Amino acid sequence: MTTMRDRVRVGRSPLAPVLVAALLAGPGIVPGIGLAASGGQCAGVESLPGGWTAGPTPATATLPVGEPPTSLVATTIVGQDPLVALATDGVSVFRTTDRGCNWQPVFTVGAIDYYSANSLATGYSVTNIATGHDVRPANQQDVYLALSPNPLNAFSMVTLFGAAPPELLAASHDGGRTFNVVAPQPSVANPIVPECLSAPALFVVPPTDAKRLYLQCNGGLAQSAAEQEVAGGVSVAFRSSDGGVSWSVIGLPAVVRYPTDPHWIVPGVQKDELWLGGYWSSTTAPVHTYIAIWHSRDGGDTWTRLLPEPTPLPDAAGQTSVGVAVDTAPGPGMGRVVVYTHTGTYATADLGKHWQRLRAVKFPNGVRVPIAAFFLRHSLHELFGGVITCKADPVFVRYPTVGARPVTLSYPAKWGKYAGWAADESFAVVSKGVIGSGLATFCVGNSETPTVTKLLSLRVG
């Protein structure tokens, strides 16, 4: 936790005099140069039965941390327009306005280094992209980049037991066409700057407030203990109300168990509304554990605990990730909330006063765990996958109504076996609840490592 008394600076490192003395070597844009999609030429957007559309991803440089070429670490649709998207390989950010046929570099992390308070240098890369997907045109959207310390950088590990390097941000107010680094301005009222050892597990902008940011990450042990003492709660997160200029710390009522899945906490449809899924254990003997969801109406300052399932979990039941989905599209279903986990899926239409358990999905073979859930045209869609990546075909279903039997839908297998889609922060429901779109990965042959990426969209109705 960096305060006004522990200021940090960005500057030229004596360890590498060839590095520039600023965070970014200019805006990192090469004017007039566009990138064709992966493969050298634009292969065009592919349409498949069932409302599926796949767009190419940008051809990127090989990452210095050992990732293969064309590896993307974050993507997002901009606003409600599925044609406009951003993608990053950690070094450069690319933008497309034609669903991936052409990509333009809009931001590049320059040759940088960073001095922490103890004069140790740490390298940074782009790890997260966040935008609120509000109703404004794409070119008017606010978009934020999280610049995180490289987790493989030996210098950053030195700070494990003390303080971590500060998280840095870049912001765009024109839908990702240009970005500028946000200079943190801690004050007496808000003296905190987020510090992270690695990429944030949560980096969210709610659709109701484009200047509000929620960020959660792992910091140094001493730093995390101090933040928890200030905020209370089981764990902590950071909140900004001015686009990352200043921050406060808020307490969270549950521990982040699976940080790679950001759907454990999602904004609601009202300003300052949050929903958080997890587990709660009773404090009196005999101790029982329940699936729980917490609701906040004040941006995380206070939380109300709700139990979708009044029956405790069996003693032998494991605690896997708990996901949350909210119907944010205008219409009769707006505001409905779903909690999903390996033991079942539950829905409420009255802010948690009453819960209904949805009918279970029957799998043709093997075991499946819930990967993601989202609403399209107010119908819940749920995706299940195998326990081991690329070892089982996904099962994708739609609930016509909350009480209806789930209907099985097709999932594209043209590019290989399912490896990931809809379960990371690249996924968004856009076009007023009609299209779900995000980065999809596939494994070819018997490989357990994803080698194919697509911007995959599903349109219903």
Task: Give the largest CA-CA distance in the chain.
Answer: 68
Residue 317 lies in a domain: yes
Asked whether residue 111 is domain-assigned, the answer is no
String of DSSP letters for 42-96: ----EEETTTEEEE--B--PPPTTSPPTT--SEEEEETTEEEEEEEE-SSEEEEE
pLDDT tens digits, the chain, 461 residues: what are they? 433 333 333 332 322 222 223 343 333 433 333 444 444 445 578 999 999 999 999 877 544 444 444 478 899 999 999 999 999 988 899 999 999 999 999 999 875 444 344 444 457 889 999 999 999 999 999 999 999 886 544 344 444 445 567 888 999 999 999 999 998 888 888 888 888 887 888 899 999 999 999 999 877 555 665 565 565 667 889 999 999 999 999 999 987 765 566 788 999 999 999 999 999 999 888 889 999 999 999 999 999 999 999 999 887 566 778 999 999 998 888 999 999 998 899 999 999 999 999 999 988 877 788 999 999 999 999 999 987 888 888 999 999 998 899 999 999 999 999 999 998 888 999 999 999 999 999 999 888 888 889 999 999 98
What pLDDT, on the 0 to 100 scale, is given for residue 430? 93
Residue 181 domain-assigned (yes or no): no
Give residue 258's pLDDT. 59
pLDDT value, residue 8: 30
Give the pLDDT confidence score for residue 66 in this predicted structure.
Answer: 45
First and final C-alpha spacing in the chain? 48
For residue 205, being part of any structural domain is answered with no
What is the C-alpha radius of gyration for the chain, rounded to an integer number of angstroms?
A: 22
Asked if residue 60 belongs to a domain, the reply is no
| Total count of domains within the chain | 1
d(CA 125, CA 110): 10
> Residues near 431 by Cβ (< 8 Å), separated by ≥ 6?
80, 81, 82, 459
The pLDDT value recorded for residue 232 is 64
Residue 83 maps to a domain: no
Q: Which pLDDT belongs to residue 189?
A: 80
Domain assignment of residue 333, yes or no: yes
pLDDT number for residue 164: 65
Q: Which amino acid is at 345?
A: T
Tell whether 28 is covered by a domain: no
* Host domain of residue 293: 258-357
What is the three-class DSSP state of 250? strand
Q: Report how far residue 275's alpha carbon sits from residue 252's, in angstroms, rounded to the nearest whole number.
A: 11
Q: What is the dihedral of CA 52, 423, 439, 216, to 10 degrees?
A: 150
Q: Identify the pLDDT of residue 54.
A: 94
